[in-house]
Amino acid sequence: MITKNTPLKDVLKLASPCQCNACNHGCKFGSGSLAEGDSKRMAEFLKISEEDLKKDFLEETELFNKKVFRPRLLRENGKVHGRCVFHSDKKGCTIHEAKPLECKTSIQCKDYGEELSVWFMVNHIVDAQEPESIRQYAQYIKTGGKVIPGAELENLVPDKDKLSKILSYEILK
């Protein structure tokens, strides 16, 4: 069972390298968010500076009120989605050895793939100290988003009064 507190090494074992069509499909329509240390590892793999990586290969986006980088999407015809800049139809992920943690944990061919995605989200994107992040996560849950054990709102913000004030917009920042 995958929980919020499942250690990274165990998550990576569960997400052992997969390059099946189901997992590569996501690379044709999006890319994974970078976690701490990803840009350094990617830049070293590509033998470029982190600044050049950001300038030439990454784009900034916002998830749960947090600005994050992800590999740039190659969009066509004004679409919001597109192929990851590092995805090749012939080779798959061209930076496979150094790809972002979210990409490593996005295994769609396993029955626990969604839990791995939620694990990444609650450990690397949702910020329990940021009220708007918690409100957006609450909306994600309210609209049917998957929750893994330990990632319930009450566990992220154990102070019931504080959680209530966050959700009712009494606490803004």
pLDDT tens sequence across 47-57: 999 999 999 99
pLDDT at 19 over 70: no
1 within some domain = no
2 within some domain = no
pLDDT: which is higher, 159 or 22: 159
In angstroms, what CA-CA distances link 173 with 46, 128, 133, 135, 167?
38, 12, 10, 11, 12
Answer whether 136's CB lies under 8 Å from 165's CB: no
69 within some domain = yes
* Strongest mean pLDDT among 30-34, 52-56, 108-112: 52-56
pLDDT at 126 over 70: yes
**pLDDT tier at 17, thresholds 50, 70, 90:** low
Over the range 109-128, which residues count as b (16 or more CB within 10 Å of their CB) and which as e?
ebeebbbbbbbbbbbbbbbb
Q: Which residue has the tokens 């900034």?
A: 60
pLDDT of residue 11: 93
Domain range for 45 is 8-167
34 within some domain = yes
pLDDT of residue 22: 66
Q: What span, in angstroms and rounded, lies between the C-alpha atoms of 54 and 151?
A: 31
3 within some domain = no
pLDDT of residue 110: 78
Q: What is the count of structural domains for the chain?
A: 1
pLDDT at 163 over 90: yes
57 within some domain = yes
pLDDT at 3 over 90: yes
Closest CA to 100 of 30, 22, 156: 30
Answer whether 61's CB lies under 8 Å from 68's CB: yes
In angstroms, what CA-CA distances link 64 with 15, 55, 89, 90, 140?
24, 23, 31, 34, 9
Mean pLDDT of 160-173: 95
pTM surpassing 0.85?
yes
**pLDDT tier at 113, thresholds 50, 70, 90:** confident
121 within some domain = yes
**pLDDT tier at 24, thresholds 50, 70, 90:** confident
